[in-house]
Amino acid sequence: MKNNRNRQVILKSRPADIPQADNFEIVESDVPDLRDGQILVHNIYLSVEPAMRGWVSSVANYSEPVRIGEVMRSFAAGEVLQSSHPDFNPGDKVMGLFGWQEFAVVGPAAVTRKVGEADLPLSLSLGVTGINGVTAYFGLLDVGQPRPGDTVVVSTAAGAVGSAVGQIAKISGCRTVGIAGGPAKVAQCRDLFSYDAAIDYKRDDLASALGAACPNGVNVYFDNTGGTISDTVLRHLAVGARVVICGTASVASWDPWPSGPRAERHLLVKRARMQGFVIFDYAPRFEEARIRLAQWIRDGRLRYCEDILDGIEHAPGAIAGLYRGENAGKRLIRIR
């Protein structure tokens, strides 16, 4: 690939809270030569996700922060162009931690998997059959443990994770209530993702809307937001409720650490459980989830929505856009 130039998005400065376009810079370099055991991946789709705020934060986290000057950490999906590893061949479709760049020279540890579902679009491997889908699957089923008849409430209900959570809860025999921001997302919740009720937290009074939508209380709350939305949902827990902490997207900064109404009394009185999870802990079980997710998609029981931006020049501002809620569905950058 001597003649190929590689456009890369690097982290230029550490954001105080939500990463903005000017925290990144697009640079060009040569694609390095392959060493033994490495592969050259030509990226087609780059992923954009809320967790990236944590990946570039210096605050204690579940992974090392991306260093200044380093290519932005990201999942991406693409095609193997060259291989010096016996398990990979040119033409293989792969998904993994290839970063925000056009070409990635990586070892096998960076590859999450070869994408085998040739009948499904490759982009889904970054969304509903990828990290978002498996996050919804294990977070809901393993941590949330829904039972048929339960009322399951989901925040960022039209998002890449939330929309899958709502539909998997429905498949599990639950009543589903989605919380989303704005009429377009609420309509998506109802019409595309089959929620039994959808609440616009920006327009409705969340507490009274929740009370009306959940007359017997909330059995499972899949929490993508944290913050004041969660504070309100916690006041509506049913006895024995499970709160799944998947993300804290609505909290702009953890430095200084923000305060909110104390949760411990709700958990005590309602004998409720609040549990965080990090999806990478489930890596050994991803295949189980993918097989079921793919089948639900083929059966038309699991629908998805993608928000695709064309061109790597959209990557730097794409995280901030997510936090402004401007995307409709799983946000991706298509670069080929």
Shortest Å, Cβ 204 to its own copies: 22
Nearer to its own copies by C-beta: 3 or 259? 259
Structure tokens at 239: 């006895």
Under rule CB under 8 A, residue 281 binds its own copies: yes
Distance, in Å, from the CA atom of 244 to the CA atom of 129, rounded to the nearest integer, reads 20
String of b and e for 46-79 (b: at least 16 CB within 10 Å)?
Answer: bbbbbbbbbbbbeeeeeeebbeeeebbbbbbbbb
- Of 131, 323, 144, 146, the closest CA to residue 227 belongs to 323
- In the bound state with its own copies, the residue whose beta carbon lies nearer, of 173 and 260, is 260
The amino acid sitting at 120 is L
- Segment near its own copies (CB under 8 A), from 37-45, 164-172, 174-182, 277-285? 277-285
Among 6, 129, 248, 327, binds its own copies (CB under 8 A): 248
Burial of 256 (0-12, 13-18, 19+ CB in 10 A): exposed
Q: Which of 17, 21, 26, 61 lies at the binding interface for its own copies (CB under 8 A)?
A: 61
Binding part of the chain for its own copies, among 127-135, 145-153, 167-175, 224-232 by CB under 8 A, reads 224-232
Examine residue 257 and tell whether it contacts its own copies (CB under 8 A).
yes
The yes or no reply on residue 264 touching its own copies (CB under 8 A) is yes
Residue 333 pairs in a beta bridge with 46, 309
Quick check: 275 binds its own copies (CB under 8 A)? yes
Is 212 a residue that touches its own copies (CB under 8 A)? no
Distance separating alpha carbons of residues 100 and 110, to the nearest angstrom: 13
How many residues sit close enough to its own copies to count as binding (CB under 8 A)? 36
Q: Are 10 and 73 in contact (CB under 8 A)?
A: no
**Residue 57 binds its own copies, judged by CB under 8 A:** no
- CA–CA separation, 214 vs 177, rounded Å? 8
Instruction: Find the binder of its own copies among 147, 265, 298, 301 (CB under 8 A).
Output: 265
| Nearer CB in complex with its own copies: 273/334 | 273
Q: Does 270 contact its own copies by CB under 8 A?
A: yes
- Range 118-122, long-range pairs (CB < 8 A, 24+ positions): 118/93, 119/298, 120/294, 120/297, 120/298, 122/44, 122/45, 122/77, 122/93
Taking CB under 8 A as the rule, does residue 33 contact its own copies? Answer: no
Q: Of 56-64, 92-100, 107-115, 144-152, which part binds its own copies (CB under 8 A)? A: 56-64
Report CA 226 to chain centroid distance, whole Å: 15
Of the candidate residues 277, 303, 323, 328, the single one contacting its own copies (CB under 8 A)? 277
Residue 271 sits in the site that holds its own copies (CB under 8 A): yes
Phi, psi of 236 (to 5 degrees): -115, 15
Residue 49 sits in the site that holds its own copies (CB under 8 A): no
Site string for its own copies, 227-246 (x = CB under 8 A): x--x--------------xx
Our finding on whether 141 is near its own copies (CB under 8 A) is: no
- Give the number of other CB atoms < 10 A from CB of residue 86: 8
Give residues in contact with its own copies (CB under 8 A). Answer: 60-62, 223, 226-227, 230, 245-248, 251, 254, 257-278, 281
